[in-house]
Amino acid sequence: MRAWWLLVLALLAAPSWAAHAYAQFGDIKYPAGFTHFDYVNPDAPKGGEIRMVPPTRPTNFDKFNPFTLKGTAPAGLGNLMFESLLVGNSQEATTAYGLLAEDVEVAPDRLSTTFRLNPKARFNDGTPVLAADVVHSFNTLMSKEAAPQFRTIYAEVKKAVALGERTVRFDFATPNPELPLVVGGMPVFGRAWGAGKPFDQVITELPVASGPYKLPSPRLGRDITYVRDPNYWGAELPTRKGQFNFDRISFKIYLDDTARFEGLKAGEYDFAREFSSRNWARQYTGKAFTSGAVVQRGFPNGNPSDYQGWVFNLRKDKFKDVRVRQAIGLAFDFEWLNKQMFYGLYKRVQGWFPNSEFHAAGLPGPDELALMEPLRDKLQPEVFGAAVVSPTTTPPHSLRENLRQAQKLLAEAGWTYRDGALRDAKSEAFTIEALIDQPSLLRVLAPMQGALRKLGIEMSFRTVDFSLAQQRMDNFDFEMTTIRLPGSNAPGSELIERFGSQAARTTGSSNVWGIENPAVDAVLSKVVSARTRPELVTAMRVLDRILSHGHYGVPQYYGDEFLIGYRPAPFVLPKTIPPYIDPGNWAMSTWWASPTNK
């Protein structure tokens, strides 16, 4: 009898393996047993090579560990070599399907999620992916030897526990419906990586990972080539079928934009995303383009747009007053820039989540007010009014009018013009050093520099290379800089790392502004605990209102197309372009080389 009861208890305690996917809001497009995502070609041939350039402008890479703070890892490493328990797709915002895990089970109280690993899963050294590796990956990323942002991302995860050789459970501190996606997306690596060395000393050792590509050489440097693993364990999975078709994927690094563009025309690489409207409008000409050897094409961007803007370091006393930050924003003339420099290609960023349903507009609705009312004592009164609209110089508005308003705000904040400069009560002159890692931005900042000079503010520029700029950002050693935050259809815990008070005090975090706002923290908790899409939208719109009224940055501009230059031969593109693509990853994972012209 006792044995029978133990069996019953064991059955009741065991997960009821039934879920091939997890959706934060229950909307799963592909049923169990699906064979492939419908935007890929499941019969795409394997072979050939695609040569890329990184979307950013890094210098030499000096490590093969992308999860530590110091140093620069090569482009493509995370996407091509590391895998996670679950993986998303380019059609659904808050749904992920099995990759390393073949099943996922969320406890009824939502305080834990259990994954059963696919017995076929293998690392690139031939060893199986086991629960102990998942636990090791989590514990390592949560340690002080890893970059600090991981401790923020997984802050609500209490622990990972191996329940068996291929069964692992994550325990949560709160019943946050996003957490299964958070832990499901965690990169998993083998315990053998680094052979027991402290993780922050794992530098030149090639990763023990499970992805479709391997690195044939441990050489550090600039350019890098990944080679498709012919023994890749997951090639026939529905979440991998028809993807990662190239035998080789290379990244070539150029140290300036001119050399990079000339490299595209000369056939040194095949695909690049263009970020300069001037280049797009004026440079894509000549024999390479008229012959069709290089194609200039705008691909539709269905994603929420990125936030791009000049940002202030609130740790500096001069930027602590919101009126000062607002005044500086009034000196930015987007309309003039768009006409004179950007060839009318761009739109003005409005709020922090532009071109998405998370953007707040007009007066707050009843759902937003219900969330805001308990926070009234922590909010500026203006937050309960109309949403902030970025300043404009479109008639009847003008830059002169905006600067008069800025002058008034600065005077209210204690800054007055005397002795040839804008000065505070201690007679200290107002100066701003703008940190930039792209010399091309100088021409964008120059008009704003002139407008600020009319207010008595002197702006200077500190131009450094990418690695030094990143180092200074990690240590919050700057006054003002530019930043681009990727838009998301499924915002969640990464926003805590970006805007949360604790992150503001954590070196290397994404909260470069130094925002410490209890109202923001409270709304962030609503974002990550939302159980329905409408709840998420409401919380995000309130967050947008609070951040916008805080004037933590000067919104810049965005484009509603991906501007791509690529060499069409020998590549074949899928017939369907899904709505939520990152263009570089989409090309690497779904394009293929024509078997007749590789």
Mean pLDDT of the chain: 91
- Where do you find CATH 3.40.190.10 in the chain? 14-39+54-228
Reported as a pLDDT band with limits 50, 70 and 90, residue 17 is: very low
CATH 3.10.105.10 fits 307-558, yes or no: yes
- Poorest-pLDDT segment among 29-43, 123-137, 254-268, 512-526: 254-268
Rounded-to-integer distance, Cα 117 and Cα 113, Å: 13
Per-residue pLDDT tens over the stretch 160-196: 999 999 999 999 998 888 899 999 999 999 999 999 8
How would you class 254 by CB atoms within 10 Å of its CB: exposed for 0-12, middle for 13-18, buried for 19 or more? Answer: buried
Instruction: Name residue 395's amino acid.
Output: P
Average pLDDT estimate for 92-101: 94
Residue 111 is predicted with a pLDDT of 95
- Spell out the CATH class of 14-39+54-228: alpha beta
Residue 215 is predicted with a pLDDT of 95
Q: Flag whether pLDDT at 353 surpasses 70.
A: yes
For residue 305, which of 23, 556, 24 has the smallest C-alpha distance? 556
- Where do you find CATH 3.10.105.10 in the chain? 307-558
Alpha-carbon dihedral 391, 394, 399, 400, rounded to 10 degrees: -120
What pTM, to 2 d.p., does this model score?
Answer: 0.76
Q: What is the DSSP string of 540-562?
A: HHHHHHHHHHHT-EEE-EE-SEE
User: Residue 278 is encoded by which pair of tokens?
Assistant: 């001037």
Average pLDDT estimate for 394-411: 96
Q: Strand, helix or coil at 468?
A: helix
Residue 486 is predicted with a pLDDT of 84
Average pLDDT estimate for 400-409: 97
Query: Is residue 29 within 8 Å of residue 92, measured between CB atoms?
Result: yes
Per-residue pLDDT tens over the stretch 464-494: 888 888 889 899 999 999 998 888 888 888 8
Give the percent of the chain with pLDDT over 90: 76
Average pLDDT estimate for 63-86: 95
162-199: b (≥16 Cβ within 10 Å) or e: beeebbbbbebeebbbbbbbbbbebbbbbbebbeeeeb
Residue 21 is predicted with a pLDDT of 95
